[in-house]
Structure 1
Amino acid sequence: MNVGKTLIRTLMIPDPSTLNPNDPLAEAIRKVNEFGVGRVIVGKEKVVGLVTTRDLLELIVQECPEGCPENIMKDVLYAPVKNHMVCSPSVAYENDLALDIINVMVSHDYGSMPVVDKAYAPKGIVTEREFLLLYQDLPKTHKVKSFATSRVATIDSGIRLEEAVSLMIRRGFRRLPVVDSEGKVIGIITATDAIKAFAKFIEKKNPSFFFGKKVSEVMKYPVLSISPETYVNDAAKELLDKKKGSFMILDENGKVSGIITERDLLIALHHMLHMQAMKTGE
């Protein structure tokens, strides 16, 4: 079976969450938080843009680096989505092949792509996570250690949430391991956790749900870890089963020695599918 020829329509999340270009950013934050996909398509009849968790968090820390006065917060929350969306995003069509779209996502560092019909109407969205399903039809040939990131940035549990978000934005990370004074991993903070906290701030109209909150109050624990000797196929299955975006690789002292993420597994899949195509001559 040539897994790379799987049609996108069989992998995509159908009936995606959408916004109108003039909808307020507050609605984008609500939808990103509620639907848990990390991005929202702009354009109900024709795709014109995309708003991601990263876009929203980048705006928040840019406009409110040390807290957010009410007047500035209103300007941020009620600004139209069209002012901050990624315009004319790359899209996939329902009958595109999986390998073709993986090529695009890996080469351009995309975490997702809207899926459209011939009229450019939104029909679905495909993220890194959906492609991990393809591993079930591939032989076990590569291990986590070949694709894991070994240089991992960490943060102290006492750091404020907005500082952690700023670091994620600057370094292009979606998650950061949280360590204690001895450098042992005690939790993980993700962009999703941050947007949930900000959505709570909006709902309750209480800045303390985001600004000034310590990472230790928001982080998830215990941290899920994996052996570097695990096959990437099994790692992908575990991420899907546990509905997580990464696994830590820990040494014997509980310190982080690596991380394997959905992104890393997409890159591994990209490599394996190209190897398969070369062997079959397709």
Structure 2
Amino acid sequence: MSGASTTYLTKKPVVTIIQDVSVWDAVWIMAQRGFRRLPVVDEDSRLVGIITATDLVRRLSSVSSADGVSEALNHRVADVMTREVAYVSMDQRLLDAVRMMVDRRVGGVPVVNGEGRVRGIVTERDVVHVFTDKICGVKVSDLMTKEVVTAEPSMRIIDALKLMVESGFRRLPIVEDGNLVGMATVMDMIRLLAANRSKPSRTVWEALSKDIIEIATPNVVTVRGNRDVGEAAELMMEFRIGALPVLNGGKLIGIITERDFFKLLKPIIHK
């Protein structure tokens, strides 16, 4: 399968967005469809950019008032999207897509046909699914990120958002008295924005000023550090999540993500 072309991935649904619609529309589509990246297309469905949940969160990271919310989000998608998109063609191999993701440090690449029209997308989750048999033989504690950025339950959502942007992480474990009590992600923030889509900017700002624990997932799926990474990969696929906090004796010692598994694929990627 690793040597196959990306064509088979065009059979899975891909959601795109037109460049002339509003950023609020992007927020709504991401929240409703559960995708954190949307290829941006022109009126002929040709790829012209990409917009991600992280892009939207980054725009909010400097906001300090209700007026700032309007300034950050009342734009066209074309004004905020990434124009230099990493992509692959339908006749390229899946490994080419993986190399592109590693080289460009992105979590997904659109698949286009000969006319540049979007026909699919390859994501980190797709890669983990295809290479499941290669993700094994290493302890979770040897592959995880050990320096975990965390938040306290009482941290404001807007401050947690800024912390994510500053640290470069899409997820924040919520820790109280050394115990893991929740997990907040950029998609939690996207869903919060979508829920307040038609409301005044002041209401959106008030929502962003609440405690992060209010939007965090309380019952977090975790893995122990002494388990094989294959078990971690299976848990991620079973629960359709991209990361697992790593515990030892009930205490948080790290976090492992889909992207961490790419480290095990280096021998294959660089063949």
Distance 1:8 1:274, change over 3 A: same
- Residue 159 of structure 2 aligns to a residue whose secondary structure is helix
**Residue matched to 2:190:** 195
Q: Residues 108-161 of structure 1, C-alpha deviation per residue, up to 9 Å, x if partnerless? A: 211111110011100011111111112344473333222111111111100000
CA contact (8 A) 2:135 2:229 kept: no
The share of aligned pairs that are identical, in percent, is 26
Ranges in structure 1 where 5+ consecutive residues have no aligned partner: 278-282
TM-score, length-scaled by structure 2: 0.90
Distance 1:57 1:274, change over 3 A: closer
In structure 1, how many angstroms separate the alpha carbons of the residues matched to 2:135 and 2:58?
Answer: 40
Which stretch of structure 1 is more off in the superposition, 122-131 or 14-23? Answer: 14-23
Query: Are 1:53 and 2:53 matched, yes or no?
Result: yes
Query: Are 1:220 and 2:178 matched, yes or no?
Result: no
CA RMSD, Structure 1 to Structure 2 (Å): 2.1
- Residue 48 of structure 1 aligns to a residue whose secondary structure is strand
Ranges in structure 2 where 5+ consecutive residues have no aligned partner: none
Give the alignment partner of residue 210 of structure 1, picking from 197, 204, 207: 207
Distance 1:267 1:13, change over 3 A: farther
Q: Residues 86-108 of structure 1, C-alpha deviation per residue, up to 9 Å, x if partnerless? A: 00301111222122221121122
Query: Are 1:148 and 2:144 matched, yes or no?
Result: yes
Which stretch of structure 1 is more off in the superposition, 137-146 or 89-98? Answer: 137-146
**Residue matched to 1:246:** 243
CA shift, 1:60, in A, is: 1.8
Query: Are 1:29 and 2:27 matched, yes or no?
Result: yes
CA contact (8 A) 1:67 1:211 kept: no
CA shift, 1:204, in A, is: 4.5
Amino acid at match of 2:236: L
Q: Residues 17-74 of structure 1, C-alpha deviation per residue, up to 9 Å, x if partnerless? A: 2222211111111111112120111115210000000111111223x2x2323xx544
Amino acid at match of 1:96: Q
Distance 1:12 1:228, change over 3 A: farther
Distance 1:229 1:8, change over 3 A: farther
TM-score, length-scaled by structure 1: 0.87
In structure 2, how many angstroms separate the alpha carbons of the residues matched to 1:266 and 1:209?
Answer: 39
Matches within 5 A, 1:1-282: 3-11=1-9, 14-44=12-42, 45-62=45-62, 64=63, 66-69=64-67, 72-138=68-134, 140-180=136-176, 182-205=177-200, 206-207=203-204, 210-252=207-249, 254-268=250-264, 270-271=265-266, 273-274=268-269, 277=271
In structure 2, how many angstroms separate the alpha carbons of the residues matched to 1:60 and 1:233?
Answer: 36
**Count of residue correspondences:** 267
